Chains A and B, each alone.
Chain A
Amino acid sequence: MGADPVAAVTGDRPIGVAIVDDHPVVVEGVRAWLATEPRLTVLATGDDPDAVLRAAPNADVVLLDLRLHGRMALDKLAELSATGRRVVVYSEHTDPATMLAALDAGAVAFLAKHEGREHCVATVLAAASDRPYVPPALAGAMVGDPRPDRPTLSDKEREALLLWFQSMSKASVARRMQISEHTVKQYVDRARIKYTRAGRPAATKAALLARAIEDGLVRPEEIGIYRSQATHDRPTP
């Protein structure tokens, strides 16, 4: 549906993915999805984040089910993000508050479980290169964010998020807004980058921000609080 989110892959080495989920059938399903993309390889799976990461210390991306054994793993998510682990949260809990809380805790991306293979692969590929990927459900959560301290989005960014949430087709959004698909993606990604200032600081947020600046997606002053040490905090893949 959307354009290929990743222009360049990190080196020749395939991207290592760790899957943490307490439902074996989901693990197998996600593994099958990711297997359709040759640049991705699943290194370890399991229902305990610590055990999985001990088994695969070099995983580039962690796919984390937010609800493990009946409780929300937001604190675990924050802990992993703080150490620079690129965590893609995927969950059947798609209420906007949960999604925004996951972003605040440092998740690189939030994927709703119903959003399917394409979004899953695209999100993991983007996360591996510290680039944002905003699936439609997350776009909806951002555009409807009721919190008083939410980031200030421009009209175009809001419109792009709303239409992307509604239609799930960047091509249709582009036709509707009479801009290119690339520009639609830019608006959406810029909105996402503005969210790196929400919640507690995390190494993953700094990495997203640094890459966005490097890519020319945003200027530091647009974000408001840019810490220059962010580039040094970037985890090495």
Chain B
Amino acid sequence: MSADLGAPAHPIRGLEVPERTSGSAPPEPTSSAGLAAPAAVAHASDRGARIVAVAIALAWHVAIGLPAVLAARAEFAVPAVVLGGWALVAVVGAVAGVRLLRGSPLPPWPLAGVLLAVDVAVFVAVGERQLFTAANWVWGTLGWFFVLALWGRRVVGLIALLTTHAVIALVAVLGHGPDPADVARYVMYVYGTFSLPVAVFVGSAVIVSLARERAAVSAAGHGLAAERDAAEHALRERRDRLALASSAAGRVLGELAAGQVDPGDPEVQRRCMLAAARLRRLIAESDDVPDPLLHELRAAADLAERNGLPIDLVTIGTPPPLPVEIRRRLADPLNGILADARGWARLTVVSGPNEVVVSLVTPDREGPEATGPPPGEHDDGQVEHLYERDGSIRWAQTQWRR
């Protein structure tokens, strides 16, 4: 019954946010029920209608047909056939109802054949006196079983069965001697047996198709909402990155543009280099590469090299996958020292499955600390920083341990 529940894919899966490596999961749909397949909604709605149809057929057969048949059993031409027909239709109808509710209906045309055979037999066996009484139970009840037999099919089949039913009745009526009053009653009976089953049959089909449409509309609405959520998420990420980039480069660029600082000033040049290094790393961060940490460090090394600093980048081992936050904390503290470096620099990365050590060594220069972290050690959670200068070299090291 629920085999087709998962058929339409969740539209959200196609909308991965661009920041693959940030570790943030794609936004979850706000309501999973809202994304249920339209087919499933239609299915649930159809099930309600089936229950109604089965209940009507069996209730009519038992509550109205049975008492009348029992009351008039002595007056039938062949009582055994009328009673036997009733019992046969009760059994076949019950089986057909159960099978219909379980989603595996009995084959419709053999079932219809059995019903029509009972129809003929009862009309023959009921006798003239009981022809138009409630004891001739096939008049009113059989139409509902036709509905069960042809559930979910086109209404033409039902009309054909009901027409056959009417023809059988007409033959019976005429066979007992044509009487204008009987013909008039016959027309009323036919109208009654046609109208209600056809109305239920068509009505339920319309309800199911309406439910399917409503569900499709609702699913489309939820798909749109999910798309909007994903777009907002991507926008937020982009804003965050813009804020990072602005804090990296915005100020020094602004001051340069306003003429407040002198591009010839070594301090301004150093700030520019630092800003460029941060921007370069931010750009590298979003690249999809197998070794993001090495890629980001290589980006920093490239920039330093382009600024005329001979730099050695030596890597040993392959870093395990690290979240972007850890990578930032491993690489960022070294940028300041790289921006300050003169002469040469040696950048090394030693990686194992549970540890990554990044080190930057540059010659120590005269003068105070221009930038970079304060000398000494500190530890911000999983990443340990170490910085020292000993007169011959400046040595910064960041170390991550699992």
> Residues on A close to B: CB < 8 A?
94, 96, 114, 137, 140-141, 143-144, 146, 162, 165-169, 171-172, 175-176
Contacts and interface: CB of A to CB of B under 8 A. Distances in A.
Given A146-B317, A166-B359, A166-B397, A140 B350 contact: yes
B332 interface: no
Nearest to A166: B359
A172 B348 contact: no
Nearest to A114: B312
B352 A169 contact: no
Contacts of B39: none
B348 A96 contact: no
A175 B390 CA distance: 8
A166 B316 contact: no
Contact of B388 (A96, A114, A176): A176
Given A143-B350, A144-B351, A171-B392, A166 B361 contact: yes
Interface string B298-317: 00000000000000101011
Contacts of B388: 176
Interface string B348-363: 1011100001010100
Interface of B: 312, 314, 316-317, 346, 348, 350-352, 357, 359, 361, 388, 390, 392-393, 395, 397
Q: Is the interface of A mostly helix, strand, loop or mixed?
A: helix
Given A144-B317, A144-B351, A162 B357 contact: yes
Contacts of B393: 167, 169, 172
Contacts of A94: 314
A169 B392 contact: yes
Contacts of A167: 346, 359, 361, 393, 395
Contacts of B392: 169, 171-172
Secondary structure dominating the interface of B: strand
A119 B46 CA distance: 85
Given A137-B314, A171-B392, A144 B361 contact: no
Contacts of B350: 140, 143-144, 162, 165
Contacts of A168: 346, 361
Could you say which of A94, A137, A146 has the most chain B C-beta atoms within 10 Å of its C-beta?
A146
Nearest to A144: B316
Residue among A141, A144, A146 having the largest count of chain B Cβ atoms under 10 Å: A144
A140 B348 contact: yes
Contacts of A166: 346, 348, 357, 359, 361, 395, 397
Contacts of A144: 316-317, 350-352
Nearest to B316: A144
A156 to B, nearest CB: 16
A232 B35 CA distance: 82
Nearest to B357: A162
B310 to A, nearest CB: 11
Contacts of B317: 96, 144, 146
For the complex of A and B, 3 pairs with smallest distance between CB atoms:
A144-B316, A166-B359, A144-B317
A165 B395 contact: no
A211 to B, nearest CB: 28
Contacts of A172: 390, 392-393, 395
B316 A141 contact: yes
20 contacts: A96-B316, A114-B312, A140-B348, A140-B350, A143-B316, A143-B350, A146-B317, A146-B352, A162-B350, A166-B359, A166-B361, A167-B346, A167-B395, A168-B346, A169-B392, A172-B390, A172-B392, A172-B393, A175-B390, A176-B388
A140 B316 contact: yes
A171 B317 CA distance: 26
A172 B316 CA distance: 21
B383 to A, nearest CB: 17
A169 B388 CA distance: 14
